[in-house]
Amino acid sequence: MNRIDSMEAKQLDMEKSITFTSDSINDLEKKVTTYDSEMKDISTTLETEKKKILNLERYSRSFNLRFGGITEEPNEDATKKIKELLNKTLNLNDIVIETAHRTGKPSTISGKPRHIIVKFIYRPQRFEVLRRAKSIMKNSEMFVLEDMPVADIIKKRGLREVMKKAYEEGKKTVFRNGNLYINGKMYT
Band of residue 105 on the pLDDT scale cut at 50, 70, 90: confident
Task: Express each pLDDT in 147-182 by its tens digit.
Answer: 999 999 999 999 999 999 999 999 999 998 899 999
- The answer to whether the beta carbons of residues 147 and 117 sit under 8 Å apart is yes
Element (H, E) at 161: helix 160-168
- The answer to whether the beta carbons of residues 128 and 90 sit under 8 Å apart is no
- Integer Cα distance of 75 and 77 in angstroms: 7
pLDDT above 90 for 4: no
Nearest to 54 by CA among 175, 151, 186: 151
Widest CA span of the chain, in angstroms? 112
In the predicted model, what is the mean pLDDT of residues 16-41?
91
User: Could you give phi then psi for residue 139, rounded to 5 degrees?
Assistant: -105, 25
Element (H, E) at 35: helix 2-61
CATH class of the domain comprising 62-147: alpha beta
What pLDDT, on a 0 to 100 scale, did the predictor assign at position 185? 93
In the predicted model, what is the mean pLDDT of residues 128-153?
91
In the predicted model, what is the mean pLDDT of residues 79-104?
93
CA angle 165, 147, 109 (to 5 degrees): 95
Task: Express each pLDDT in 47-72 by its tens digit.
Answer: 999 999 999 999 999 999 999 999 98
pLDDT above 80 for 109: no
- Integer Cα distance of 174 and 140 in angstroms: 23
Band of residue 1 on the pLDDT scale cut at 50, 70, 90: confident
Coil, strand or helix: which one is 102? strand
pLDDT above 80 for 110: no
